[in-house]
A and B are shown apart, each in its own frame.
Chain A
Amino acid sequence: MRTTLDGAGPSGGGSRLDRSNVPGGADRAGPLAPAGLDALGVCAWFGRAQVLDDVTLSVPAATVTALIGPSGCGKSTFLRILNRMHESTEGAQMAGEVFLNGEDIYGPGHRLTDVRKQIGMVFQKPNPFPSMSIADNVTAGLGLTNTKVSRSAKVDLVEECLTRAGLWSEVKDRLDRPGSALSGGQQQRLCIARSLAVRPKVLLMDEPCSALDPTSTRRIEETIAELQGEVTIVIVTHNMQQATRVSQRAAFFLAEPGSPGGIVEQGDTVDLFERPRDPRTSDYVNGRFG
């Protein structure tokens, strides 16, 4: 793991992890509170078409879990169910339960906005807010969730989150420039920093590197490696090498033609790739289809 390519190393990392003075610090168990996520019997529909059937997946806290599988097997839909983004789509429905630290996020008494704040998401295409500066992009979540923060705490938060996302050394001299002026890979890391600023317990990543070149992809993977342990990560990827590089656990999704998708096999990434139990998994991870 390479950790000293930028400010995350000697100067940035350690001291910045003390965040007793930043938002969310008080109502959390501690400065770093990654949480486990358990999906139980999750089904999903778009209109009448069922796209997921009975998916049960356990994501241990502070690990990286990769969701792999061919296109159209419901990986992204499943990911969007994990932070209740699924229901923002017209005609989308779901069944089953998703537990965050043992509590059903779809249960009564859970506000949609609170759930999404605790379970952040990074999208396939980098989507910084183009009208905002780099610094304002990082703190955008505070305004969106009506979290009041002092100016100095904001400055600290910007540095801390950009450092954790591995972007600080590249942008520290131009924090007031628009976020859209960055390269695609930098924009994606800015989006990661923006997600981290609201202190999520879980970070969902939906093919975060598919729009990026190999160098940017490597930087994102380094960022994921650095975040591991601080936040639980679930990543959807089409790149199987990436899955083996970044994740400890993996789940293989597959949808037979004409039937909804589901998990064929899940377990430790090493086992899934080197000793797959299901022949379909073996075919997929060895590149025989998909």
Chain B
Amino acid sequence: MTTTVDLLPPSTPPSGPRQPRQLSPGLQPSDRIFHGGATTIGMVVLALTGAIGLFLGFQSIPTLHHYGLSFFTQTQWVPELNRIGIAAVLVGTVEVALVAMFVSFPLALMFALFITDYAPKRIKSSLISVIDLMAAVPSIIYGLWGFFLLQPYATNVARFLSQYFGWLPVFHVDTDPNSAVWQQSRYTSSAFIAGLAVAMMAIPLACAIMRGVFDQAPMGEREAAMALGGTRFGVARTVVLPFAKGGIIGGTMLALGRALGETAAVLIIISPAYDIKPRILEAGTQTTSALIAGNFGNATKSQLSALLTAGFVLFVITLGVNSIAAAFIRRSRSGAGTEI
């Protein structure tokens, strides 16, 4: 091949605007196959999620068309009386999730910090396995645990809270907390107890993400804090926690997304009640996923559509929460390299 350098006029100015060259990636056949396979599978996953959303969306058209906005304002769910709405259900969903967050956030944070900054190296990996094992326990087990083991004790806590903090609407229970024979059944099957069980499932998820970002806190800054005479807590407060802020928020929100959709454990623990109330300690509440799980078995076609609409709303909320969480994690200094 001859070179073309000599054939070019010595100083011709470029004619017209210069275009960037198209570079071919120059992949090996094996790379091409892998590239193609990975792209396809990635697309399939995206398409599946999209398809679920679309399916739910289409299914909810008749319901939303029929009930309109009242679907979101009606508290009762009585298909027989043509009264269907998710106002109370959504409130119950949020209450259970918030109780779960309130309990799991400090535990996950402390445990993650303990693993990364305090635990001796030799037990570190065992601790990580234990917390990962918590995530592997089926949620129905947590439900049974919450109902049979936790509830008898948790009702005492609930009674204590309503006795001393009952003036707060959140802790109020419609019964006399100081009566000689206390009505334990008024305190069972509540959003509070369901939230405790859900918290057990939220902890490993939040903890894993927080641990990931704590571990990434730069060694240079940790050493700087140590060299100034900082205690371990000082290092955590000055370096690790500020660094991990985005990861902490993101991990918590991901766990919130998990808590919002939790079904089996909640279904076992709560007794369905369809009223909007802030009283989380009081018996009876309902969450979206428990509503669906409890009712779809003997639902007619239109009732099924209504349940799927409730599912669609939950899907959108969870998607929103997870997207916000992902944005928090990705945009923070700590989260740039974190897997979520």
Contact A113-B221, Cβ < 8 Å, known A129-B239, A130-B333, A140-B238:
no
User: In the bound complex, do residue A191 and residue B229 qualify as a contact, i.e. CB atoms below 8 Å apart?
Assistant: no
Interface size class of A (residues with CB under 8 A): 20 to 34
User: Considering residues B224, B225, B227, B243, which has the most beta carbons from chain A within 10 angstroms of its beta carbon?
Assistant: B227
> Is the CB of A3 closer than 8 A to any CB of chain B?
no
B222: shortest Cβ distance to chain A, in Å? 9
For A140, give its contact among B218, B225, B243, B333 (CB under 8 Å): B225
**Are A120 and B227 in contact (CB-based, < 8 A)?**
yes
Partner of A123, one of B223, B230, B235, B239: B223
Who on chain A is nearest to B227 by CB? A121
- CB pair A131 B229 closer than 8 Å: no
Closest to B218 in A: A127
* Complex contact B226–A145 (CB within 8 A): no
Establish whether residues B242 and A129, one from each chain, have CB atoms under 8 Å apart when the complex forms. Answer: yes
Question: Which residue of B223, B224, B242 contacts A131 across the interface (Cβ within 8 Å)?
Answer: B242
Q: List B residues 179-230 near A (Cβ within 8 Å).
A: 218, 220-221, 223-230
B335 to chain A, nearest CB (A): 14
Q: Which A60-117 residues have C-beta < 8 A from chain B?
A: 83, 85, 88, 90, 113-117
Tell whether, in the assembled complex, residue A144 and residue B223 are in contact, meaning their CB atoms are under 8 Å apart. no
Cross-chain contact B218 with A90 (CB below 8 angstroms): no
Q: Is the CB of B226 within 8 A of A116?
A: yes
Q: Are A85 and B221 in contact (CB under 8 A)?
A: no
Q: Cβ of A195 < 8 Å from any Cβ of B? A: yes
B40 lies within 8 A of chain A by Cβ:
no
Does B231 make an interface contact (CB < 8 A)?
yes
Q: Which residues of chain A have C-beta atoms less than 8 A from B243's C-beta?
A: 131
A143–B239 Cα distance when bound, in Å, is 12
A198 within 8 A of B: yes
Report whether B223 and A85 are in contact in the complex, using a CB–CB cutoff of 8 Å.
Answer: yes
Chain A CB within 10 Å, residue with most, of B121, B224, B229, B239? B229
Cross-chain contact A90 with B238 (CB below 8 angstroms) = no
CB of A194 within 8 Å of the partner chain: yes
Q: Are A85 and B226 in contact (CB under 8 A)?
A: yes
Q: How far is the CB of A114 from chain B (nearest CB, A)?
A: 7
**Cβ of B234 < 8 Å from any Cβ of A?**
yes
Q: A127-B218, A127-B221 are in contact. Are A88 and B226 (CB under 8 A)?
A: yes
> In the bound complex, what is the Cα–Cα distance between A169 and B220 (angstroms)?
27
Contacts of A123 in B (CB 8 A): 220, 223-224, 227
Chain A residues whose CB sits within 8 angstroms of the CB of B333 once the complex forms:
130
Please pick, from A113, A118, A130, the residue contacting B230 in the complex, using a CB distance under 8 A.
Answer: A113
Point out residues on A near B: beta carbons under 8 Å.
83, 85, 88, 90, 113-118, 120-121, 123, 125, 127-132, 140-141, 143-146, 191, 194-195, 198
Sample (9) of A-B pairs whose CB atoms are under 8 Å apart: A113-B229, A116-B226, A116-B229, A117-B229, A118-B229, A127-B218, A140-B238, A144-B229, A195-B228
Known: A85-B223, A130-B221, A143-B238. 7 other contacts (CB 8 A): A113-B230, A116-B226, A127-B220, A129-B242, A144-B231, A194-B224, A195-B228
List chain B positions with a Cβ less than 8 A from chain A. Answer: 121, 218, 220-221, 223-231, 234-235, 237-239, 242-243, 333
